[in-house]
Amino acid sequence: MSALLTPIAIERPAEIRFGAGLASAVGAFARARGCTRPLVVCDAFNAGRVGLLGLPGEAAVFGTVRPEPDIPNLDALLTMAEATKPDLVIGFGGGSAMDLAKLAAVLPGSGQFIHDVVGPEKVQGRSLALAQVPTTSGTGSEAGTRALVTDPATQNKLAVQSRHMLADLAVVDPDLTLTVPSAVTAATGVDALAHCAEAYTSRKAHPLIDLYALEGIRLVGRFLARAVRDGADREARAGLSLASLYGGFCLGPVNTTAGHAVAYPLGTRHHIPHGLACALIFPHTLAFNAPVVPEKTAGILQALGLGSAGGETAVRAAARDWCAALGIEMRLSRHGVPEADLEAMATEAHAIRRLLDNNPRDISQAEILALYRAAH
Ligand SMILES: NC(=O)c1ccc[n+]([C@@H]2O[C@H](COP(=O)([O-])OP(=O)(O)OC[C@H]3O[C@@H](n4cnc5c(N)ncnc54)[C@H](O)[C@@H]3O)[C@@H](O)[C@H]2O)c1
Ligand SMILES: [Fe+2]
């Protein structure tokens, strides 16, 4: 059936503001809403510049969000939220801070705990305001309904999805990303690219989303190398912030596929940051899928400015060289992943059905293992 005949729904933050220097729009929003007890959820870097948000009164700041946050990190935040009883929660940081902010906006006082809300639409509701302010350009979490938290007991990423976690306001101020170190810029940029490319080639791909996916890929192709080379390039930063937002639009109704599923064990088992994990895997899943979606794969490579590589091997080489040229070390072994762990990782990745079932080409556990070996 033509994808045009497939129903689709898009849910967005009620208001999205995009533009350099807009961070203080959060303060204006708080005043307009009459919010007096804001809680800012951020990492240590952003904790040092909460003043940029222009919030009224004395904001409570949870400034210890860790990269790839886990349940203990979430619990510490929830304890603080229960004590401070905020009327506005603000995620201020990368995906790690924004994801925890979503949960801090819906869990305290609800009687629901993290394990009660894993999966789609289990959250009962939200009674306070939520604003999101990204400071990396990668996850697009500001635009979406999902939050990811690692469960140390099972080493799984728990995915909570709820329309109640959609922000009332997302403020995308590209100038906030000027301080992102070049290695993080490169890795998070490939995360944005992976969101777009995986959604574009997903079994659930839809023309309504393809538009954002392709444009997101083009923006990454045009601006990522520039921002990695010169972090102060404001136009390149703005282009990547837009690409990240478009990637976020792709996640909602379509979402990622094998690239993210195969990347997850690198983060949960080996603490490789999410963007980097996606970058290490991206060339391999793009190539693996190429035989069943040749035109879309060619479209992705063209949008990246890579011409149109032919078969699986050529696609893998083109994408891997492109990532390596961004300064990303592309071998798993160089990131401390032991060969002996690859089998367990393949078992874990293969179990992530919510993503793999939408991959355009069926991928077996043995094929995932072969892919890890090729990347090792
Ligand atoms: N909700 C979603 O839809 C979604 C999508 C993709 C990824 N994620 C999740 O997001 C998390 C990763 O987020 P991320 O890649 O944005 O990284 P991050 O939030 O973990 O931040 C990476 C590092 O950059 C630092 N940092 C952030 N902004 C900075 C700035 N402006 N200047 C200098 N340093 C800065 C942080 O302190 C941190 O050390 C993972 O947990 C991942 O699973 C969520
Ligand atoms: Fe991602």
Nearest Cα residue to 18 out of 232, 243, 212, 255: 243
- Residues 6 or more apart whose CB falls under 8 angstroms from that of 350 comprise 356, 363, 364, 365, 368
Nearest Cα residue to 227 out of 134, 136, 111: 136
43 Cα nearest atom in ligand 1: 37
Distance 247 CA to ligand 2 centre (A): 9
Question: How does pLDDT run along the chain (376 residues), one tens digit per residue?
Answer: 689 999 999 999 999 999 999 999 999 999 999 999 999 999 999 999 999 999 998 899 999 999 999 999 999 999 999 999 999 999 999 999 999 999 999 999 999 999 999 999 999 999 999 999 999 999 999 999 999 999 999 888 899 999 999 999 999 999 999 999 999 999 999 999 999 999 999 999 999 999 999 999 999 999 999 999 999 999 999 999 999 999 999 998 999 999 999 999 999 899 999 999 999 999 999 999 999 999 999 999 999 999 877 799 999 999 999 999 999 999 999 999 999 999 999 999 999 999 999 999 999 999 999 999 999 9
Gap between the Cα atoms of 249 and 209, Å rounded: 7
Distance 146 CA to ligand 2 centre (A): 11
pLDDT on residue 156? 85
Distance 158 CA to ligand 2 centre (A): 14
Q: Which residues line ligand 1 (CB under 6 A)?
A: 43, 45-46, 67-68, 93-97, 99, 135-136, 138-139, 141, 144, 146-148, 176-177, 179-180, 184, 188, 191, 251, 274-275
- In contact, 228 and 326? CB cutoff 8 Å: yes
DSSP string, 252-284: TTT---HHHHHHHHHHHHH---HHHHHHHHHHH
* Among 42, 46, 73, 96, residue to substitute to test ligand 1 (most atoms within 8 Å of Cβ): 96
- Residues 6 or more apart whose CB falls under 8 angstroms from that of 306 comprise 221, 318, 319, 322
- In contact, 12 and 166? CB cutoff 8 Å: yes
Distance 274 CA to ligand 1 centre (A): 8
Domains of the chain with CATH codes: 15-177 (3.40.50.1970), 182-375 (1.20.1090.10)
Name the residue at shortest CA distance from atom 38 of ligand 1.
67
Q: Name the maximum alpha-carbon separation found in the chain.
A: 59
pLDDT on residue 127? 96
The DSSP bridge partners found for residue 88 are 38, 129
Q: Is the dihedral of CA 319, 255, 41, 166 positive or negative?
A: positive
Burial state string for 213-233 with b = 16 or more CB within 10 A and e = fewer than 16: bbbbbbbbbbbbbebbeebeb
Identify the residue whose tokens are 């102060």: 232
- Residues 6 or more apart whose CB falls under 8 angstroms from that of 89 comprise 38, 39, 41, 81, 101, 104, 105, 128, 129, 130, 131
pLDDT on residue 1? 67
> Which residue type is seen at 292?
V
pLDDT on residue 155? 83
Distance 356 CA to ligand 2 centre (A): 14
Gap between the Cα atoms of 202 and 166, Å rounded: 23
Gap between the Cα atoms of 19 and 234, Å rounded: 11
181 Cα nearest atom in ligand 1: 33
CA angle 181, 241, 303 (to 5 degrees): 105
Gap between the Cα atoms of 132 and 94, Å rounded: 10
CA 108, chain centre distance (Å): 24
* Among 11, 40, 41, 43, residue to substitute to test ligand 1 (most atoms within 8 Å of Cβ): 43
Distance 319 CA to ligand 1 centre (A): 23
